[in-house]
Amino acid sequence: MSHTKMLRVIITSTILLLSLLLARPPPADSTGSQFGRGGSGSSSDDDVYIVYMGAANPTNLAMKEAVLGSLLQSGGRQEMDILNTYSHGLSGFAARLSAKEVESIAAQPGVVSVFPDSNLQLHTTRSWDFLQDLSGSNAVPPLPASSRPDSSNVVIGIFDSGIWPEAQSFRHEGTNLSVPRGWKGTCVTAADFNETACHGTKIVGARYYISDSPRDNDGHGSHVASTAAGAAVEKASFYDGLAAGTARGGSPPAKIAVYKVCDEDDCRSRILLHAFDDAIADGVQVISMSLGSRHLKEFLEDPQAIGAFHAVEHGITVVCSAGNSGPRPSTMSNDAPWIVTVAASTVDRDFRSDILLGGGKVVKGEWIGLPDLSRSPIYPLIDGRSAKAGNVSFRAARGCKPGSLDKKKTRGKLVICDIKDEGNDGKYINQVVEVAVKGGLGVIIANNESKRVAQYLWDVPITKVGSREAAQLMAYLKTNRKPLATILQTVVMGNYTPAPEVAFFSSRGPSSKAADIIKPDVTAPGVDILAASSLGEESPNKPKGRPKSSFNIASGTSMSCPHVSGVAANIKAANPAFSHPH
């Protein structure tokens, strides 16, 4: 690392630290709506900027008002279009600003940085038993329940897509329902989220900054919250008994405070900072954040780093996902030294959805699905190139890119889609849609090395294979005039090895901002994790004619992060003064 870059990192951290050393208790009143929703109702965020002014002390708060006043005077405005304002743990605001106003504000006394509002991304049972198994038979046995630290006074703040409060994982059984000491938060109600959501459940607080309710409609936030602090649910499983067992969080007695900062793919930086500001004032002990962006170049323009810094200075442990952009180096987000950054690893369980070829040969496949196909190999098998549309390249057809397949050649067949040149993002949406709309019976994703099972069910049967299995399929196509196959039902395989190992998709370090920041800090189970889901309209797809499952199996560092958040809550219960050090 160059001396110049190292000096820049030191100066950045020093500025942040000095701003906190001058901090004073926040004022009693809160700027911004009690609902955690700022804004004028305008739909465009193209010209929104975040003005960061350090700690929330009286001096900085006064400077903030002075900056806003000077803008009104110099710009000839009747009023400012303020979207968010920060006054508890940090000082600043988010507003629609012209380029000239940005330049003027950046030169004002007390302004640390001004940067554009950016869009962040969510980093989409058996795991806890597996972690215990790793201790080995000669390890110290776990403490009996009566001797474990009581985490019922610990509140974990979940920054995510909301929560489905009716889920079994959030019921009160086994949970002390008393309000934790020092809790000052609130439960904001909405048309579909009444006061009962925070009474008789593990949920003690709820705020929303996006959409019109704290309710989780896509399942991500509920999955994360139940992994961190869900109550034990016996006989939990996905469809048809997949991953059956007792689902429980890492710290079942702990309480949950919900901060809905995301809705589908909309996770704004300014909103994230508002949630940090509220969570600090509310009195959470742990923040769990399974989202981020790796395209932020400086800590002083990184909302996760800024918000987490102020939270840590208030004694809050901040746990974040590393991201799903691996395996290349320096691909992680949430790389500030004061954040606990979590990678994803496998567990000793695998979901097999094999391919049975004509002649009886079985090729190993991996997927979680409920294919409505015969168990006999009666379906024609082709690769994408054999179904190529006339006006596209063979390479595009091989990968089943949108518009690359001919409908007549695809209809009624199982199609092999080779994604060797397409990356390993674990989604496969384009391939599945292309085959489905062209009438294909099923999709085989080939040359996928990512140990990441699907997070969605599709009406069209799917499985995926690695390079070795892909070669077997291609050899079968070449040596058979009428190749036939079928995709078998998913089965759960135990004692999967090697496990644990870092997942292929898990983002790697070191930090792209400073190469001497070696992260992630820890890895935790993040592949094929069973946890609570949402029954909302946007929640994961379901098979035809079947109700939505109250549990879902998902993979990503989004799933590994709350494992560590639950552990952090237990540590906080045993040692309330604990805080992740700088």
**Per-residue pLDDT, 580:** 62
Does the residue 191 lie in any domain?
yes
> Could you tell me if 125 and 100 lie in one domain?
no
Residues 68, 97 contacting (CB under 8 angstroms): no
Does the residue 581 lie in any domain?
no
Counting beta carbons within 10 angstroms of the beta carbon of residue 211, is it exposed (0 to 12), middle (13 to 18) or buried (19 or more)? middle
> Could you tell me if 529 and 474 lie in one domain?
no
> Could you tell me if 298 and 375 lie in one domain?
no
Nearest to 180 by CA among 199, 149, 152: 152
Report which secondary-structure segment, H or E, holds 298: none
Distance between CA atoms of residues 237 and 389, nearest Å: 42
Does the residue 365 lie in any domain?
yes
**Per-residue pLDDT, 111:** 94
DSSP state of 55: E
Residues 324, 560 contacting (CB under 8 angstroms): no
Q: Exposed e or buried b for every residue in 451-481, given b needs 16+ CB within 10 A?
A: bbbbbbbbebbbbbbbeebbebbeebbeeee
> Could you tell me if 101 and 183 lie in one domain?
no
Distance between CA atoms of residues 165 and 293, nearest Å: 28
Domain that holds residue 367: 349-494
> Could you tell me if 153 and 301 lie in one domain?
yes
DSSP state of 152: G
Residues 230, 240 contacting (CB under 8 angstroms): no
> Could you tell me if 363 and 311 lie in one domain?
no
**Pairing mode of beta strands 286-289, 203-208:** unpaired
Query: Would you give per-residue pLDDT tens digits along the chain (582 residues)?
Result: 444 444 344 334 444 444 433 333 333 333 222 223 333 333 344 489 999 999 988 888 888 888 888 777 765 565 668 899 999 999 999 999 989 899 999 999 999 999 999 988 887 634 444 444 544 444 445 545 555 678 889 999 999 999 999 999 998 766 677 888 899 999 999 999 998 899 888 999 999 999 899 999 989 999 999 999 999 999 998 887 888 889 999 999 999 999 999 987 789 999 999 999 999 999 999 999 999 887 777 899 999 999 999 999 999 999 999 998 888 999 999 999 999 999 999 888 888 899 999 999 999 998 888 888 999 999 999 999 999 999 899 999 999 999 999 999 999 999 999 987 555 455 677 888 899 999 999 999 998 765 555 545 667 899 999 899 999 999 999 999 999 999 999 888 877 777 788 988 899 999 998 889 999 999 999 988 999 999 887 766 667 777 888 998 888 899 999 999 999 999 999 988 777 654
Distance between CA atoms of residues 410 and 439, nearest Å: 6
Provide the 10 A C-beta neighbour count for residue 129.
15
Residues 452, 505 contacting (CB under 8 angstroms): yes
Does the residue 424 lie in any domain?
yes
Residues 576, 182 contacting (CB under 8 angstroms): no
Distance between CA atoms of residues 258 and 222, nearest Å: 10
Amino acid letter, 544: K
Does the residue 582 lie in any domain?
no
**Pairing mode of beta strands 255-260, 203-208:** parallel
Does the residue 181 lie in any domain?
yes
Distance between CA atoms of residues 476 and 308, nearest Å: 54
- What the block records as the tokens of 46 is 């193209």
Tokens 């038979």, residue located: 137
Within 8 A by CB and 6+ apart from 364, the residues are 352, 354, 465, 469
Partners of 553 in the β-ladder: 530
Provide the 10 A C-beta neighbour count for residue 192.
12
Distance between CA atoms of residues 211 and 271, nearest Å: 12
Amino acid letter, 396: A
Number of separate domains in the chain: 3
Q: What DSSP string describes 31-47?
A: SS-TTS--S-S----TT
CATH code assigned at 160: 3.40.50.200
> Could you tell me if 360 and 338 lie in one domain?
no
Does the residue 159 lie in any domain?
yes
Distance between CA atoms of residues 351 and 498, nearest Å: 15
Partners of 485 in the β-ladder: 357, 379
Residues 325, 447 contacting (CB under 8 angstroms): no
> Could you tell me if 85 and 126 lie in one domain?
no
> Could you tell me if 358 and 488 lie in one domain?
yes
Within 8 A by CB and 6+ apart from 437, the residues are none
Bond into 180 cis (ω within 30): no
Nearest to 459 by CA among 530, 536, 534, 541: 541
Longest CA pairwise span in the chain (Å):
82
> Could you tell me if 15 and 103 lie in one domain?
yes
> Could you tell me if 378 and 338 lie in one domain?
no
CATH code assigned at 406: 3.50.30.30
**Residues, the chain:** 582
Tokens 């001096």, residue located: 59
Entry pTM: 0.82
SS3 220: helix
- What the block records as the tokens of 28 is 């009693």
SS3 81: coil
Residue 146, φ and ψ in degrees, nearest 5: -65, -20
Does the residue 502 lie in any domain?
no
Q: Exposed e or buried b for every residue in 368-395, given b needs 16+ CB within 10 A?
A: bbbbebeeebebbbbbbbbbbbeeeeee
Residues 19, 112 contacting (CB under 8 angstroms): yes
**Pairing mode of beta strands 245-247, 233-236:** antiparallel
Residues 88, 273 contacting (CB under 8 angstroms): no
- What the block records as the tokens of 173 is 């059984």
> Could you tell me if 430 and 381 lie in one domain?
yes
Q: How far apart are the first and last CA of the chain?
A: 20
Distance between CA atoms of residues 254 and 128, nearest Å: 16
Distance between CA atoms of residues 57 and 110, nearest Å: 11
Tokens 């500030």, residue located: 336
- What the block records as the tokens of 357 is 């070829």
Catalytic annotation, residues? 160, 220, 558
